[in-house]
Structure 1
Amino acid sequence: MKQRPDRLFAEPMAKVPDFVFNEDVARVFPDMIKRSVPGYPAIVENTGVLAGQFARPDSALYDLGCSLGAVTQALRRHVRADRCRVIAVDNSPAMVERCREYLHAQDAMFQELLPAEVVEADILGLDFQPSSLVTLNFTLQFIALDQRPVLLRRIRQALLPGGALILSEKLRFDDPTEQALLTELHLAFKRANGYSELEIAQKRSAIENVMKPDTLAVHRQRLLSAGFSQVVPWFQCLNFASLIALP
């Protein structure tokens, strides 16, 4: 499937609108995420590898905030537990439509993949099935702060013994020097991937009101308060990280 380059913020805007996962974003999302999130391909592929260690037979595997289904595809490639199924959920109609197209293309390329269902829904209103693996891949940061503990408690209640939540997020840092350093290094990453200063500035304006990162300490305490017994960071690249939370 042909991918388009991300040029959404390349031209000056009189007023930069808040970022939304609409059709324009869906068309360029693979290029956008790869050029904006350090370590993203490694997180996605290794989420599939990790899932293979936690998935249990006869259970659901959730990809919450699935966007175009990159994590879903990784789960299908790596998980071998019997009678598992992937449930990919997103509230963006444009993302859901294209996710289904990507999964159809994956079906044509591989045999014996896990069955996958793509659901257009708000993850805050999901009726979770018994699950052994749940992924929140750069999704929680877009959820309202007061709803984050509620969602995590519901995920914890749905997880079977031996299962896991894999949570990937952009981090903020309490130490101003650390925050400034990692912010500048992230900007250098974007410049190295071809984004102009205008694109960087306008994207920042678009997303700052809709994406609210937390510190690693806040993530850890929130997960423990939601009933998880252990929180293990397994990946960090600059100010982006991924955690495993065990029930």
Structure 2
Amino acid sequence: MHQSKKDAIFAEPLTQVSDFVFDQNVVEVFPDMINRSVPGYQSILQGIGQLTQKFAQPHSTIYDLGCSLGAATLAMRQNLSAVNDVRITAADNSNAMIERCRLHLDGYRSDVPVDVVCADIRELAIANASVVTMNFTLQFIPQDQRQALLQRIYDGLKPGGVMLLAEKFKAADPALDEVLVNLHHEFKRANGYSELEISQKRAAIENVMRIDTLETHQQRLRNVGFSAVQVWFQCYNFTALLAIK
């Protein structure tokens, strides 16, 4: 198992802040980065495992779209067994992430097979699915392509199948959004990030990560056909949704 390094990517002043990319530098510090940046991340992973256990159907495929280093895949796999007769497909478009993901998964024994694939999830075939997880992934897909991707996921789900969607969101009211953003920045400061790191990370990610309102996410899920949509976790401007076909 690789020990995650401390995230110091934005610790020094940069003459030019480039757009954020999931490269080898990010891979090396990603677990530290996400735990110090996303409030409730471990609780979300735990919930993904529990919900997968509840909704996984025998003889089906479980998908982790935008799997990064495989944290959600591990959470799901630990709550499944061979008696379910399920396979997991973990997909990400970052080669660096996928290579490390395979190492992480190899570090844990399990009788549930996982196919780890480097692919653009917008082009990945979704079929015979009972659970599809997108953990802070949709926000990196261009906004005008999000509904089409969700439609493909919905169409690939079995009846009674579910989508687990976690996203950073913006509040519809600008004043309330500022409150949530400030709470998130306080969270990052409490986890040891400096003002420089917070501002440079924000600059790097603003062109790459476009966030929607919670209402937009809920409406989009209903638009593609999900019959029930429920928030099951929220901390500041981070939320996790359960959508049932």
Q: Which residue of 2 aligns with 1:50?
A: 51
Q: Which residue of 1 aligns with 2:60?
A: 59
Contact 2:10 2:197 in 1 (8 A): yes
Q: Distance in 1 between matches of 2:39 and 2:143?
A: 24
Q: Distance in 2 between matches of 1:222 and 1:65?
A: 19
Is the counterpart of residue 103 in structure 1 residue 101 in structure 2? no
Output the aligned Cα RMSD: 0.8
Q: Which residue of 2 aligns with 1:7?
A: 8
1:205-245 Cα distance to aligned partner (Å, 9 max, x none) = 00000001111110011011111111010000111000001
Is the counterpart of residue 204 in structure 1 residue 225 in structure 2? no
Q: Which residue of 2 aligns with 1:155?
A: 153
Aligned runs of 1:24-173 on 2, under 5 Å?
Answer: 24-80=25-81, 82-107=84-109, 112-173=110-171
1:72 counterpart letter in structure 2: T
Q: CA deviation at 1:79?
A: 2.1
2:188 counterpart letter in structure 1: K
Q: Distance in 2 between matches of 1:151 and 1:210?
A: 18
Count, aligned residues: 243
Contact 2:126 2:157 in 1 (8 A): no
Which runs of 4 or more aligned residues in structure 1 lie more than 6 Å from their structure 2 counterparts after TM superposition?
A: none
Q: Distance in 1 between matches of 2:168 and 2:80?
A: 26
- Percent of pairs with identical residues: 53
Contact 2:66 2:135 in 1 (8 A): yes
1:162 counterpart letter in structure 2: G
TM-score (norm. length: structure 2): 0.97
2:89 counterpart letter in structure 1: I
Q: Distance in 1 between matches of 2:69 and 2:6?
A: 15
Contact 1:170 1:241 in 2 (8 A): yes
Q: Distance in 1 between matches of 2:100 and 2:50?
A: 24
Q: Which residue of 1 aligns with 2:214?
A: 216
Which of 182, 185, 194 does residue 183 from structure 2 map onto? 185
SS of equivalent to 1:123? coil
Q: Distance in 1 between matches of 2:113 and 2:160?
A: 22
Unaligned runs of 5+ in 2: none
Q: CA deviation at 1:82?
A: 1.7
2:189 counterpart letter in structure 1: R
Q: CA deviation at 1:34?
A: 0.2
Q: CA deviation at 1:147?
A: 0.7
Q: Distance in 2 between matches of 1:148 and 1:160?
A: 20
Q: Distance in 2 between matches of 1:127 and 1:216?
A: 27
Is the counterpart of residue 246 in structure 1 residue 218 in structure 2? no
1:25-79 Cα distance to aligned partner (Å, 9 max, x none) = 0110000000000000100111011111110011000000000000000011012
Contact 2:162 2:242 in 1 (8 A): yes
Q: Distance in 2 between matches of 1:216 and 1:245?
A: 13
